[in-house]
Structure 1
Amino acid sequence: MRAAVLTQFGAPLTVRELPDPKAGDGEVVVEVLAAGVAPYAAEVFSGKRNYPLVPPVVPGVGGVGRILHIGPDATRLRVGDLVWCDSTVRSRDDALTPDIALQGWSSRGEGGAQLARHLHDGAFAEFMRVPTENVFPLPPAAEDDPARWAALTVHAIPYGGLLAGRLAAGETLLVSGATGNLGSSAVAVALAMGAGRVIAPGRNRAALDLLADRFGPRLRPVPLTGDEATDRAALLEAAGGPIDMVIDLLPPGAPSSASRAAAMTVREYGRVVLMGGVGMLGGDDLALPYPWIMRNSITVRGQWMYPRTANVGIIRLLASGALDLAPERVRSFGLDAVNDALAYAAAHGGPFDRTTLTPSPG
């Protein structure tokens, strides 16, 4: 098969021939039709983000594919099925605290590194080997545009955070980082889940206007000033009532003060879910006042990725039309243009901009 390979950090990806993967017990091999290219992918491959990838490696996090081979333990999947391949690989020998790796992308701890060594290569290839439990059938509508459905790579992440925060229909949600790629997805997913109102702070006026135009009065945009007290007051005013939940999806370069200003708008007994990258590249860590958390009975939790069942839920939202992919701007690149795709994704990381790699024509 042909694949794009990261030979070393800081070097362009190289397209080369590699042996076709083989499905073992508990595994599936798919033909990769479309894989999302994250806006920050070039930062990962340059080494700036210090991800625990071990070159040479075929990168790529998740993808839409067609099943070529299945292992003997698959009872519902069939060769030829169009499927979504979730990159979130969990160890099978600890149900309580499983080790986790993102296939072709990242891992956590030594156990996660062991998983990453076993399932080393990701979706930037014609074929990919994945665990059976990470493969999810897609509806017939996905046949028409697999590249558009590769947006599952993005939408599944905030969906997992909203599930973790137990977002309920009719509630008011504040999305910290709403003008970014993941944050704007959180806005769309939350409204699809029935949020009554979404508060969207940001400094990018054009992105705020785009969100307001797309979602109407249930979306409340708030331009940020950078002053923590001023911004918190503006967020509370825009809500027009209690803010039930805050989800933070700010990138590593964002100041912790922006996360704190958003988090501390949540009502008594409210929930705060942290999914962003604040502090990962240096800078101040997030400091929330102990008395405020304790006296207001605030729930603060982190969430890395999402549970396996979230894949089914987000696919249902898309299949039902509650979450609409049609307005998204999708640009696809063939495998030979992988480095062009990385550059394009870095320059087009705004709301509902999607860059996809199409290793196989299908």
Structure 2
Amino acid sequence: MAASSSSSTTLPSHHRALVLETLEEGFSIKPVPTPRPGPGSVVVRVIEAGVISYHRDIYNGKRHYDFPKPIVGGLSAIGRVVAVGEDAVVLKPGQLVYVDCVVHARDNPDSLFLMAIHDGVDEASRKLSSDVWRDGAFAEYMKAPLENCFRLDEDRLCRDLGYTTRELMYMMYLLVPFGGLRDIRVEPGETVVVSPATGGFGGAGVQVAIAMGARVIAMGRNEKELARLKEHIRKGKPGAEIETVKMSGEFETDTAALRKFGTVDAVVDLTPVWANRSTHLKSAIQSLRRNGRCSMMGFIQDVIVWDTIALNITIKGKLMYERDDIVLFIKMMERGLFPKGKDLVVPKVYKMEEWKEALDAAAEWTGIGKTVMIEP
């Protein structure tokens, strides 16, 4: 048998990880065996482990997601390759990579799950999440599928453009709306409604749509946060076109407010589950031009209005993004299409021992330009 492209003897026998054995006990730092690479896999030394706004509710059981236990928590990460399987031809030890959390079965991409978040959509994904790719990024080392590791041009991103690995970790938020926007083929110059725009994924959606050359109408209930959103965009992208609409909760009122801004080409909706009965998405769809498009990435229950049929509106559901979306997004980052520093994101960073504080902070530190991470 051929040897691994990088000797596994360079890896320690054990490393520290945040292990969740039961929801009641929460995480504890434990020594666990360090994974070894095999065909189709990469072992990464974790630099930044992303923490999303609802991580706390997943790991305390408030948001009921099924996943195997014990488990190393986390999801996506920024890390450095330390060992690769013998079939790797691009990735090499020492490279900076983005490790994505969306795992697809190689022989059936429809079977997928989010690493260390849930066990997926069918028996096949449950098998993979339990037996093969169980653990997330809250650890010093993690093993990931070869196709889930994306090489980052460190010279360009970190030296020429000045991004830090903490800023690059914000990709975990930016990529989600990018998947939806690209799925409905948003073009430069179009007008896009982002609803709601004041949460983590919604705020990121505004940033991505602006970077794609769109004019944005941001909807939200919090006027103060809408004002901060507009200021954040204009500092990072002087001259960017952004309008805001405060949601009233009334279908006709919100529709009229959107129509004041003229032709609307597309909508991307990222409504959280707790707001699934809101009427704002119906208002956004009602404001679309003939042959307009809507990407549904959230949890709205009732979206159909008569104009959906009369105006040939396309409504597409979208879960996360595709691998090609990640490749293109990284190219956009490398071309300097996003702002840098605090004009992009202000991260809050915690040590592994501070995991409770990190999960609490992620639940509160939300909205455009905000993210939380654990540095092992």
TM-score above 0.5 = yes
In the other structure, the counterpart of 1:286 is 302
Contact 2:281–2:303 under 8 Å retained in 1 = no
The aligned residue for residue 245 of structure 1 is 266
Residues 209-255 of structure 1: CA deviation (Å, up to 9, x unaligned): 11222334600011121111101111111x2x211100001111113
CA contact (8 A) 1:35 1:147 kept: no
Deviation at 1:139, TM superposition (A): 2.1
Q: What is the one-letter code of the residue matched to 1:234? A: A
83, 90, 105: which one aligns with 2:117: 105
2:184 corresponds in structure 1 to 165
Letter in 2 for 1:152: M
Task: Note the C-alpha offset of 1:336.
Answer: 1.1
Secondary structure of 1:167's counterpart equals coil
Are 2:352 and 1:335 aligned?
yes
- Determine if contact 2:202/2:367 at 8 Å carries over to the other structure: no
Where structure 2 has 5 or more consecutive residues not aligned to the other structure, the ranges are 1-14, 235-239
Counterparts of 2:60 and 2:66 in 1: how far apart (Å)?
12
**75, 96, 100: which one pairs with 1:86?**
100
Deviation at 1:269, TM superposition (A): 0.5
Distance across 1 between alignment mates of 2:325 and 2:293: 19
Distance 1:69 1:192 in 2: 34
Q: Identify if the C-alpha distance between structure 1 residues 11 and 233 changes in structure 2 by more than 3 Å, giving closer, same or farther.
A: farther
Q: Which amino acid aligns with 2:256?
A: A
Answer whether contact 2:179 2:320 (CA < 8 A) is retained.
yes
Following superposition, the deviation at residue 10 of structure 1 comes to 4.1
Question: How many positions carry a matched residue from both structures?
Answer: 347
Which of 312, 317, 324 is equivalent to 1:309? 324
SS in 2 for 1:169: coil
Aligned residue among 343, 354, 368 for 1:351 = 368
**Residue identity in the other structure for 2:254:** D
What's the counterpart of residue 284 of structure 2?
262
- 1:219-238 matches, cutoff 5 A: 219-237=242-260
Equivalent residues in 2 for 1:1-362, closer than 5 Å: 1-94=15-108, 98-106=110-118, 107-117=120-130, 118-140=132-154, 141-142=157-158, 145-195=164-214, 197-216=215-234, 218-237=241-260, 239=261, 241-254=262-275, 255-278=277-300, 285-289=301-305, 291-326=306-341, 327=343, 328-359=345-376
* Structure 2 length-normalised TM: 0.89
> For the structure 1 residues 110 and 286, does the alpha-carbon distance in structure 2 shift closer, same or farther, using more than 3 Å as the test?
farther
Report the Cα distance in structure 1 between the residues aligned to 2:233 and 2:365, rounded to whole angstroms.
Answer: 21
Structure 1 outlier segments of 4+, above 6 Å: none
Deviation at 1:173, TM superposition (A): 0.2
Provide the rounded CA distance (Å) in 2 between the counterparts of 1:158 and 1:322.
16
Query: Separation in 1 of the partners of 2:286 and 2:228?
Result: 26
Question: 1:263 deviation in Å?
Answer: 2.5
Q: Using the alignment, how far apart are the partners of 1:342 and 1:319 within structure 2?
A: 30
Contact 1:161–1:247, Cα closer than 8 Å, also in 2: yes
Aligned to 2:8: none
Q: CA RMSD in A?
A: 1.5
Paired-residue identity, %: 34
Structure 1 unaligned residues grouped into runs of 5+: 279-284
